């Protein structure tokens, strides 16, 4: 017998000896049939996958236990020894290792701090004995038809949901709770479907309605209320990481509220869930021009963004795409995809390549990694938020521009005979009109350079550029840090034609260098204005509103020669089109590629923005200057020079020189010169065209925009990024879906629309499961899968797997009808149970996983605030529009160093919480205290805490104190002579039920005590009543009102007042 065989026998005997002592006790607790997904995979995931799972980098012994073929493999050196051998645990290395007595042999190793209990070891043994049947992870398996359980007790179930729940309860030896009281039921469902409590009238009507469909009528009414969309939107905005500011240090305002209003409308209109998802992922790629579909894609742009100094644009662009990737996976797949950004997922079958294939779908838009510091420009791509009237105005103005362009061409054609007559007169070239800046750079006096075109507008040098031999006489030597500025040429708009010409001499081939610009810093979203740069040795000219999605840029096809003087002239015709932006070198039109051709908004600065009105040569803040470059003979014109004039500026050639050349191209040059200098009809038509463009542009500039998605015509390449770092590309990847999930159909486009179609395919195993689980969580407080963000191996197993799959299939078959799904849930007997339970049941099932009682949990932060406003009749139910700023403690924004909080007076303090201004670095503090999500990242589940601070908010926050006073005023007016009626009214308003006798006496004692106090402390009463903007009546006894206000606050803090 070999030594290895002897060793193996020793291990087997040791395992048998150990097992004999533990077997009977452990096996008594084991399930009769061991299921891989529900019993074994969780053990392997928790204790084994870190070293023997999907992540190749951390894998030990080249062993994978997450793959069937690897887990069942035969071991080398042993004829019968396998990793796992179905039916024979003593021939299975996995079992022998986990059950080994020898610490050196036992797995997991001692230094991992992971252990398996005796019961878990025997669970693995039984699974192997039963054949070790392997299964794909449960959430990746197709959603198969599920048979609804047939039960002997058919009295309790109201729909199929109840049959699944009751079957599970009976298997646990439990029975469902009785139905909740009608008061509790209408309170629960009204909060769940509208986010607000029922009115006393609605409660009374329901109590009085003895029709069989009374409850269903309430449900239908609530689902058709506009409040329904507002309630549902709160849930989704957490998922969408919605906020009204960019985040990071500056955390400036951004107008994304139209997306929030779209979400409200989508829910109220019951947009099918598959369309709701598709519009948000790829509405811009859908056929038709319905703006709402493109607006919905703002979902992908709601991540944090930065404009901080020193930030690297590409680094943050990659961060934005990564956020979209991870939000997509969390929101729609319920997977922890972020774990695969830097390496293969350690627990789930998701590779790093899978991550970047999804990443590729979200990276092909024309965006910048930094937003503008100096302007309020909306980061591109954008959608104009036009009103219907503006749409018609824009159409009329666009038509006027088109008519003016046609008219200009007609006049040019009509002027042919006049041109030929002029040409026959052998005219001579006169001085070129429009010269506003002429800087020969011959002498610097007091830091200034003379302007021969206007002595009152000299140039200014900074940091002492040197005068050296130039093209003509002297020129300037630029260091890359110093510069020359001129006040002329710094105020051109996108509708103004202009020409800028100068001689330059570059000592080397520059990958990037600023020749001239009218802008701020390079990093400021590409820098609004206009510029001439070196890029990879080539020259590029640009006009920019926001780079890269709202700009013009042309770049020469060839590189500029080095160590020689060359005249570079840029002309622009005011058309906002790339074909109107031209580059000339040494008087000749230079062939160029069009880099960007989408300029639709101003290249200047609006009121309140940081303006720059000078043209600067040689240097720009946070950019690379024209190091060791030479410049000379700068000329600036307030018109577009014709090619003939450009040639004249370069060579001094006269018109006569052009006339003696019979080249037809020369005739064309002269015709253009004639039309723009001598033809009065043409010049008048040109002015009319400029005026039409100006009016069109002014209207567009006045219209707000929102960030959306818009696909690049050529997809941006994507790569696996080593360690997830932006500048460490490795393997190039194509847009595709994870290999462990069903593949995209061959006919689908490899873009976001194809991804959305793949996601909403009825056969997708995750989409419907994840969605219905989250809606279940919304109503019951806990999902059927308790980890809605993780349907993978580390997530919780579904408590009712068959019910989850039945709901998912039913949801898809209904046409993804969200309202139908919610109605099905709230109509169930499961939902309608009382939330009360015995101590024994609470001990057995503290989280109500088995659903032996109805849902009962604290209201959300929004519901608590909205309900006190609603019951006090302060709530302003205005829908939509920009965010509002209600009460919050002073100084919080100032601590963040970014702005001062200016509270809205009037209705702004009393709108629904959905509309509250959400600043990422300083969210509304009372909302956070009550467990609202921070919304920095996608959140599909809120934490639930219980702290003293929450009670302090309800008792002291001005919003709640003011609401308590307003309700107290209503109470005193409702029943001025009866304290008993008043106290009943308060309690019922806030809890939806009549107080018990004991509760009433406690409230009366509290009221008497408070009234006595305030009668003896009138100043305290006045101080209390002065809180908030809402006026209090002049004819009300202050002590009485203050005492009732305190009673309202007591009841507001009562558990039932903040529980549904």
Joined tokens for residue 637: 């014109």
E strand map for 319-451: 382-384, 435-439, 444-445, 448-449
What is the distance between the alpha carbons of residues 868 and 967, in angstroms, rounded to a whole number? Answer: 9
- pLDDT of 425-475, one tens digit each? 877 767 799 999 999 999 999 999 999 999 999 999 999 999 999 999 999
pLDDT tens readout for residues 832-885 = 999 998 898 998 999 999 999 999 999 999 999 999 999 999 999 999 999 999
Q: What is the mean pLDDT of residues 38-61?
A: 87
SS3 call for 503: strand
Per-residue pLDDT, averaged over 933-938, amounts to: 97
Distance CA 878, CA 876 (A): 6
Three-class DSSP category at 239:
helix
Mention every residue, 6+ apart, whose C-beta is less than 8 A from residue 824. Answer: 159, 161, 807, 810
Structural contact between residues 635 and 501, judged by C-beta atoms closer than 8 angstroms: yes
DSSP state of 748: S
pLDDT tens for residues 337-374? 999 999 999 999 999 999 999 999 999 999 999 999 88
CB 735 within 8 A of CB 418: no
Averaged pLDDT for residues 56-84: 80
In sequence order, what DSSP letters do the residues of 784-822 get, joined into one string?
SSS-TT--STTSPPPSSHHHHHHHHHHHHHTTS-HHHHH
Average the pLDDT over 740-756 and give the result: 97
Token code pair at residue 79: 């004829």
SS3 749: coil
CB contact at 8 A, 804 and 798: yes
- Give, to the nearest 10 degrees, the angle between helix 979-991 and helix 958-974: 130
Q: How far apart are CA 624 and CA 662, in angstroms?
A: 45
Dist CA 568 CA 539 (whole Å): 9
Q: How far apart are CA 909 and CA 419, in angstroms?
A: 69
The answer to whether 887 and 865 are in contact (CB under 8 A) is no
For residues 390 and 543, is the Cβ–Cβ distance under 8 A?
no
Could you give the angle at which helices 160-171 and 801-813 cross, rounded to 10 degrees?
170
- Tell me phi and psi for residue 161, to 5 degrees: -55, -45
- Residue 1055: pLDDT over 70: yes
Whole-number Cα distances in Å, 473 to 210, 440, 442, 468, 706 = 102, 8, 7, 9, 52
Average pLDDT, the chain: 93
What is the predicted pLDDT for the residue at 16? 44
Categorise residue 342: left if φ over 0, alpha if ψ from -120 to 50, beta otherwise. alpha
d(CA 560, CA 722): 36
What is the mean predicted confidence (pLDDT) over 826-837? 96
Candidates 70, 78, 63, 179; CA nearest to 827 is 179
Asked whether residue 1031 carries a pLDDT value surpassing 70, the answer given is: yes
Rounded to an integer, the average pLDDT of 177-195 is 98
Give per-residue pLDDT as tens, 196-251: 999 999 999 999 999 999 999 999 999 999 999 999 999 999 999 999 999 999 99
CB-neighbour burial class of residue 479 (10 A; exposed 0-12, middle 13-18, buried 19+): middle
SS3 for 993? coil
CA 1048 to chain centre: 39
Confidence of residue 916 (pLDDT cuts 50, 70, 90): very high
448 in Cβ contact with 461 (< 8 Å): yes
Q: Tell me the two tokens of residue 264.
A: 């409200």
- Coil, strand, or helix at residue 55? coil
Cα separation of 785 and 279, whole Å? 27
Residue 83 pLDDT exceeds 60: yes
- In the chain the domains, ranked by start, together with CATH numbers, are 3-135 (no CATH), 435-618+628-640 (2.60.120.200), 956-1058 (no CATH)
Tokens of 323: 């956020």
Cα–Cα distance measured from residue 148 to residue 134, given in angstroms and rounded to the nearest whole number: 26
C-alpha span between 524 and 513 (Å, rounded): 16
pTM of the entire predicted model: 0.93
Tokens of 952: 């302090």
Q: 10 Å Cβ neighbour count for 825?
A: 20
Helix (H) or strand (E) holding 104: none
Distances (CA, A) of 439 to 443, 450, 485, 1033: 10, 6, 11, 74
Residues 234/914, Cβ–Cβ less than 8 Å: yes
**Stretch among 146-160, 221-235, 294-308 having the lowest mean pLDDT:** 146-160
Residue 18 has pLDDT above 80, yes or no: no
In terms of DSSP H, where are the helices of 481-556?
A: none
Task: Find the range with the poorest average confidence among 12-26, 60-74, 729-743, 922-936.
Answer: 12-26
Each residue of 563-585: pLDDT tens digit?
A: 999 999 999 999 999 999 999 99
Indicate if the pLDDT at residue 994 is higher than 50. Answer: yes
Residues making up the chain, counted from first to last: 1060
With pLDDT > 90 as the criterion, what percentage of the chain qualifies? 82
Q: Give the pLDDT confidence score for residue 4 in this predicted structure.
A: 47
Q: Name the pairing type of β-strands 529-535 and 512-518.
A: antiparallel
126-130, 518-522, 945-949, range with the lowest pLDDT: 518-522
pLDDT at 79: 44
Closest CA to 581 of 504, 494, 651: 494
- Own/partner contacts of 954-960, CB < 8 Å, gap of 24 or more, are 954/864, 954/1049, 954/1052, 954/1053, 954/1058, 955/1049, 955/1053, 957/887, 957/926, 958/887, 958/1027, 958/1028, 959/865, 959/868, 959/869, 959/886, 959/887, 959/909, 959/926, 959/1028, 960/865, 960/868, 960/1049, 960/1052
Q: What span, in angstroms and rounded, lies between the C-alpha atoms of 344 and 342?
A: 7
Percentages helix, strand, coil for the chain (3-state, rounded to 5) are 45, 10, 45
CB proximity list for 76: less than 8 A, separation 6 or greater? none
Distance CA 494, CA 492 (A): 7
Q: For 10-24, 442-456, 751-765, 859-873, which range has the lowest pLDDT when averaged over its residues?
A: 10-24
Confidence of residue 664 (pLDDT cuts 50, 70, 90): low
């Amino acid at each position: 017998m070999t030594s290895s065989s002897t060793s193996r026998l020793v291990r087997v005997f040791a395992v048998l000896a150990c097992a004999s002592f533990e077997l009977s006790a452990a096996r008594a607790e084991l399930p009769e049939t061991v299921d891989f997904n529900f019993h074994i995979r969780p053990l392997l995931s928790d204790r084994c996958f870190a070293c023997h799972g999907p992540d190749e980098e951390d894998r030990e012994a080249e062993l994978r236990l997450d793959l069937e073929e690897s887990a069942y493999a035969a071991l080398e050196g042993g004829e019968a020894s396998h990793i796992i051998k179905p039916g024979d645990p003593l021939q299975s290395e996995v079992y022998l290792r986990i059950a080994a007595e020898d610490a050196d042999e036992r797995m997991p190793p001692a230094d991992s701090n992971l252990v398996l209990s005796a019961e878990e070891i025997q669970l693995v043994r039984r699974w192997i004995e039963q054949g070790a049947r392997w299964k794909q992870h449960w959430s990746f398996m197709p959603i198969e038809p599920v048979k609804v359980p047939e039960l002997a007790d058919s009295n309790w179930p109201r729909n199929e949901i109840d049959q699944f729940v009751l079957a599970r309860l009976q298997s646990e030896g439990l029975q469902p709770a009785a139905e909740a009281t009608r008061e509790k039921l209408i309170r629960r469902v009204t909060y769940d479907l509208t986010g607000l409590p029922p009115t006393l009238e609605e409660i009374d009507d329901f109590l009085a309605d003895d029709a069989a469909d009374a409850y269903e009528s309430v449900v239908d009414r609530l689902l058709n209320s506009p409040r329904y969309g507002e309630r549902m939107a709160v849930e989704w905005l957490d998922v969408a990481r919605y906020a009204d500011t960019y985040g990071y240090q500056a955390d400036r305002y951004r107008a994304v509220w139209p997306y929030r209003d779209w979400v409200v409308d989508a829910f109220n209109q019951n947009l099918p869930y598959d369309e709701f998802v598709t519009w948000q992922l790829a509405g811009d790629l859908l056929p038709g021009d319905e703006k709402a579909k493109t607006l919905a894609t703002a979902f992908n742009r709601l991540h944090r963004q930065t404009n901080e100094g020193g930030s690297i644009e590409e680094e943050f662009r990659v961060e934005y795409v990564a956020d979209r990737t991870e939000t997509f996976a969390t929101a729609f797949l319920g997977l922890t995809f972020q774990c695969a950004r830097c390496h293969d997922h350690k627990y789930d079958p998701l590779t790093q390549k899978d991550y970047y294939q999804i990443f590729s779908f979200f990276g092909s838009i024309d965006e910048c990694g930094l937003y503008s510091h100096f302007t309020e420009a909306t980061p591109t791509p954008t959608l104009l938020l036009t009103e219907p009237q503006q749409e018609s105005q824009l159409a009329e103005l666009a038509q006027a521009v088109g008519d003016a362009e046609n008219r200009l061409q007609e006049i040019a054609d009509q002027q042919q005979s006049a041109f030929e007559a002029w040409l026959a007169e052998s005219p001579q070239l006169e001085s070129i009109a429009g010269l506003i800046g002429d800087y020969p750079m011959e002498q610097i006096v007091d830091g200034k350079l003379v302007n021969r075109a206007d002595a009152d507008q000299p140039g200014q040098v900074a940091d002492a550029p040197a005068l050296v031999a130039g093209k003509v006489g002297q020129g300037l030597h630029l260091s890359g840090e110093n510069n020359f500025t001129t006040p002329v040429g710094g105020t051109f708009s996108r509708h103004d034609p202009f020409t800028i010409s100068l001689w330059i001499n570059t000592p080397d081939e520059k990958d990037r260098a600023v020749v001239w610009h009218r802008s701020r810093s390079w990093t400021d979203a590409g820098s609004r204005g206009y510029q001439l740069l070196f890029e990879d040795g080539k020259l590029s000219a640009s006009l920019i509103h926001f780079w890269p999605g709202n700009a013009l840029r042309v770049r020469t096809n060839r590189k500029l020669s080095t160590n020689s003087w060359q005249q570079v002239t840029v002309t622009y015709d005011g058309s906002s089109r790339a074909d109107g932006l031209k580059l000339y070198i040494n008087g000749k039109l230079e062939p160029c590629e069009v880099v960007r051709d989408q300029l639709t908004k101003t290249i200047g600065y609006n009121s309140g923005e940081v303006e720059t009105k000078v043209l600067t040569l040689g240097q720009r803040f946070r950019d690379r200057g024209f190091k060791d470059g030479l410049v000379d003979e700068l000329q600036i014109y307030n018109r577009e020079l014709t090619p003939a004039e450009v040639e004249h500026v370069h060579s001094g050639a006269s018109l006569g020189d052009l006339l003696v050349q019979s080249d037809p191209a020369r005739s064309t040059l002269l015709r253009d010169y004639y039309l723009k200098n001598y033809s009065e009809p043409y010049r008048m038509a040109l002015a009319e065209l400029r005026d039409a463009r100006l009016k069109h542009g002014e209207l567009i500039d006045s219209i707000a925009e929102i960030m959306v998605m818009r696909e690049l015509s050529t997809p941006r390449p994507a790569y696996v990024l080593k360690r997830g770092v932006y500048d460490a590309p490795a393997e190039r990847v194509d847009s595709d879906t994870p290999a462990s999930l069903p593949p995209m159909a061959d006919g689908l486009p490899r873009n976001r629309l194809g991804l959305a179609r793949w996601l909403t395919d009825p056969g997708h195993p995750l989409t419907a499961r994840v969605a219905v689980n989250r809606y279940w969580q919304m109503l019951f407080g806990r999902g059927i899968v308790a980890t809605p963000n993780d349907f993978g191996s580390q997530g919780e197993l579904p408590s009712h797997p068959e019910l989850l799959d039945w709901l998912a299939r039913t949801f898809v078959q209904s046409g993804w009808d969200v309202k139908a799904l919610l109605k099905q849930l709230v109509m169930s007997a499961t939902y309608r149970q009382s939330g009360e339970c015995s101590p024994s049941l609470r001990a057995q099932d503290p989280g109500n996983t088995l659903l032996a009682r109805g849902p009962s949990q604290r209201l959300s932060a929004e519901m608590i605030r909205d309900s006190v406003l609603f019951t006090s009749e302060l709530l302003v139910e205005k829908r939509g529009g920009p965010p509002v700023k209600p009460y919050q403690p002073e100084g919080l924004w100032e601590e963040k160093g970014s702005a001062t909080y200016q509270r809205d007076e009037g209705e702004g303090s009393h709108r629904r919480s959905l509309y509250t201004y959400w600043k990422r670095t300083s969210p509304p503090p009372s909302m956070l205290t009550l467990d609202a999500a921070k919304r920095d990242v996608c959140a599909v589940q809120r934490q639930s805490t219980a702290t003293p601070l929450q009670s302090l908010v309800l008792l002291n926050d001005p919003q709640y104190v003011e609401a308590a006073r307003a309700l107290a005023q209503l109470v005193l007016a409702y029943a001025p002579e009866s304290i008993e009626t008043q106290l009943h009214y308060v309690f019922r308003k806030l809890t939806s039920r009549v107080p018990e006798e004991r509760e009433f006496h406690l409230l009366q004692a509290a009221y008497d005590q408070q009234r006595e106090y305030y009668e003896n402390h009138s100043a305290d009463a006045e101080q209390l009543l002065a809180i908030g903007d809402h006026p209090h009546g002049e004819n009300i006894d202050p002590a009485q009102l203050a005492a009732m206000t305190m009673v309202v606050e007591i009841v507001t803090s009562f558990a039932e007042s903040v529980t549904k």
